[in-house]
Structure 1
């Protein structure tokens, strides 16, 4: 697991190569504000090799945040991340490794009959109950979350992960009430608290797509304040004290998808019921949470010259559209790290070089939306 000393040592080794605030507080130390994601790519040996090489280069170049999930690339992504981290010249203790559990993973390739695979591999052995499933392949019941964590540790070949996210819990809203989803999250958080106490997890959180960005009345909406309250209850249940390990959220954020900053849809914990809501980023900042952005360059769509509105593009630093798009995400107040996935070494170098440019200050970022 990452340690304070190793994370700061990594920062000291690479800090002078980057712009201001490139390294930001995360967990016990600091992490690069450019992270490498592993979602994209076909589940093939060729992509495995390219992804492994890209992660290895990232770690040597000043990126010490690697994000994956149990289901990415049919389970291959975690194996590649683990191999790259274990084989790197960079100490494991200097790398923040995050993964996720929620979607049921395939085993290396997409099966011909996914429904039959889920039934035979998960339902019949009792790993998940049929009633726990949403959309046929998603579960956040505590038994499944714990199974997923164990599966991740096995595939990664690591003793612990630094952050474990419950993945897209809003998926469950298709089959159960919002209150029932909060109850499931609290039960899952209790399991993660116990695994945190055992040293298997450094921290945990939720990785979402819609939940914290959509309007309060939307069917896929979740209250971040309520999710936090459930984490606090889980911490108290496991004890001692009122400490808990809920430390991070992940959500999409980019110049074309800025709802987490622009939409005031979250209520402050314990606040006046008549008080104006705030954005997800503001609430996360007030709560002391780390925020990790996904889709930071729109899965490549914003890497094309002209894709960023000209007036916004003119405010951003960077030699390429991809760098400017990434620096927009890194500039948002409260953002800790912005993920971008690639297995292309040239793109990887371009993404890392975005960190040599300074992000916008808070006032300049606010001015973009005036």
Structure 2
């Protein structure tokens, strides 16, 4: 067992630091990854990342679903959205997904994207799987056209609330593609010592993380430090239980990276020292499952 790899999350990056943060993320080509979305940083994240992505061929994942600032009127003018759809701020229809994929490629300066996540499908009205059917259809077509390698589903509470399950996501993707060899290859969800439902389930080989891993999908852990709040909530004693020679943030990161089934931990680190600390933490041997159970019992008891 090895700890998960570190990837750069861009949701909470400070604007002046975006380019430098992306360059730091590219320093280790074996594990480098950048995750973003068209609505991050008031719609500027992808454009700010583009120069670094042009300099380094670091893999990148982005998203479809939320409308970026100023995107609604353009999408309506291009016929990708109705005015009613635009007013909701979130859309996963096939025409909009195709349009957003093209916009993402243009903004990021890439002809082909590594991963597109369907962003918070639980936000859509109606049956989420019918909504996802249209989105998956468009994304399979993007793959067929050579513009995309794979796609996934990124959710905040869809798995915890029972709105989404890995089994049903796989079923819809299989039906859309007409084969079990579809291109749904990843999920992204919050995993931390306080957003710990899926974390605790994974320790017993259950829940969305374990199920996705058994499918051969990658699991991306977002918000591993709970939006930067976790280091203030955790204690030195808890960190020592995880690994005595690590700082509190490092210990919390290593715990998430040690969760069975997690492939990549997405860290938003504007500060070079914070990124270096994160990299150093994930080079440590993973924390044993019995220790992780003790940690969750202390900080996030069921």
Judge same fold: TM > 0.5, yes or no: yes
Of 282, 290, 298, 2:226 maps to 298
Shift of 1:186: 1.2
Question: Rg bigger for which structure?
Answer: 1
**Residue 129 (structure 2) pairs with residue 129 (structure 1):** no
Shift of 1:210: 0.6
**Residue 292 (structure 2) pairs with residue 339 (structure 1):** no
Task: Output aligned runs, 1:328-367, within 5 Å.
Answer: 328-367=255-294
Which residue matches 1:97? 60
Shift of 1:356: 2.4
**Residue 109 (structure 2) pairs with residue 157 (structure 1):** yes
Which residue matches 1:21? 2
What SS is found at the alignment partner of 1:21? coil
Which residue matches 2:300? none
| Normalised TM-score (structure 2) | 0.88
Which residue matches 2:49? 81
**Residue 284 (structure 2) pairs with residue 284 (structure 1):** no
Is the contact made by 2:136 and 2:173 (CA closer than 8 Å) also made in structure 1? yes
What SS is found at the alignment partner of 1:152? helix
Change in 2 beyond 3 A, CA 1:96/1:287: same
Q: Distance in 2 between matches of 1:367 and 1:286?
A: 25
**Residue 150 (structure 2) pairs with residue 197 (structure 1):** no
Q: Distance in 1 between matches of 2:172 and 2:83?
A: 24
Which residue matches 1:252? 190
Q: Distance in 2 between matches of 1:309 and 1:355?
A: 20
Which residue matches 1:231? 173
Change in 2 beyond 3 A, CA 1:357/1:345: same
Q: Distance in 2 between matches of 1:229 and 1:102?
A: 21
Shift of 1:129: 2.3
| Normalised TM-score (structure 1) | 0.73
Q: Distance in 2 between matches of 1:233 and 1:201?
A: 19
Number of residues paired by the alignment?
A: 293
User: Please, what is the CA RMSD of the aligned residues?
Assistant: 2.3
Shift of 1:132: 3.9
**Residue 50 (structure 2) pairs with residue 69 (structure 1):** no
Extract unaligned runs of 5+ from structure 1: 1-19, 25-32, 108-116, 265-276
Give a deviation string over 1:328-365, Cα, whole Å, max 9, x none. Answer: 11011100011110222122222222122222133433
Q: Distance in 2 between matches of 1:242 and 1:279?
A: 21
**Residue 223 (structure 2) pairs with residue 316 (structure 1):** no
Q: Distance in 1 between matches of 2:222 and 2:180?
A: 30
Q: Higher relative CO (CA 8 A, sep ≥ 6), structure 1 or 2?
A: 2
